[in-house]
Structure 1
Amino acid sequence: MKHRLERVNELLKRELGDLLRREVSFEAALVTVQQVDITPDLKHAHVYISVMGNEAQTKAAMAKLHDSRISLQHLLSKRVVLKYTPHLHFKLDDTIERGTRIINLLESIDIPPDEPLGEPESESESDAK
């Protein structure tokens, strides 16, 4: 059963991405479907959306998605045949921004290079012995 849910998730992700590209226009530079998680009863689908743009564009894109949810569900029901058409829940996926912030923090840390182990003694130290 788990494999069926994974296949349905991928199918919904692909079809919703295509529907968003064709049916909805956004002010943001790029709006993509990152992941879809459908419940085991196939009645609800959590759609994780990534928006490339500023804060205002992100809010506008999410508002537009929430407003067009019913029409997207209707179009999805024509493209994907399931016993129930899932109720779409759009959520903002900010993992890309968090990952970029973590990478920037890691790059800003100044770590001195490691000293090699077992360095040979200098000539002046060996003469003193």
Structure 2
Amino acid sequence: MRKNSVKNTRINGEVQRVLAETIRGEIKDPRISPWTSVVSVEVAPDLKSCKAWISVLGDEEAQRATLEGLKSAEGFIKNRIAKVINLRNTPEISFVMDQSIAYGVSMSRRIDEVIARDDESARKREDTGPREETHS
């Protein structure tokens, strides 16, 4: 099976969906942040391994704790995927931290700050606009 085949793409989507549902609603580990998202999943063509890119909104401690919680729940997650998705092999999952959502939030905040500064300096220019000179 080619890496980009329709079947592999469908399997990636199904594993991502089941993984997200499992993390969101079935794992009770307090280390796992409620702000955890499954950004992307890539299942190997032989179905033996899977990389799951995870994004956690929060500080580095929350991200580290979430990764630890997910790694300790790997057996449960693999079992859940095996029950929901009928695959020849159930892949071993490795979690990778993805910073794209946090980066997007940070960039959005910076853009908002720049716009606010521009608006404020435009208002100041209007308030202290050119003064008319009066000739007596």
TM-score bin (small chain): 0.7 to 0.9
Deviation at 1:97, TM superposition (A): 2.4
Deviation at 1:106, TM superposition (A): 6.5
Q: Does structure 2 conserve the Cα–Cα contact (< 8 Å) formed by 1:13 and 1:36?
A: yes
- Indicate the residue corresponding to 1:5 in structure 2: 8
Pairing of 1:81-92 with structure 2 (within 5 A): 81-92=86-97
1:20 partnered with 2:23: yes
- Indicate the residue corresponding to 2:52 in structure 1: 47
Where does the alignment leave 5 or more consecutive residues of structure 1 unmatched? 111-129
Identical-pair percentage:
25
Where does the alignment leave 5 or more consecutive residues of structure 2 unmatched? 118-136
- Indicate the residue corresponding to 1:75 in structure 2: 80
CA distance in 2, matches of 1:97, 1:53: 8
Deviation at 1:105, TM superposition (A): 6.1
Q: Give the greater-gyration-radius structure (CA).
A: 1
Q: Does structure 2 conserve the Cα–Cα contact (< 8 Å) formed by 1:50 and 1:92?
A: yes
Pairing of 1:57-72 with structure 2 (within 5 A): 57-72=62-77
How many aligned positions are there? 111
Q: Does structure 1 conserve the Cα–Cα contact (< 8 Å) formed by 2:57 and 2:102?
A: no
Q: TM-score, normalised by structure 1?
A: 0.74
CA distance in 2, matches of 1:69, 1:52: 21
Q: Which moved more, 1:75-84 or 1:95-104?
A: 95-104
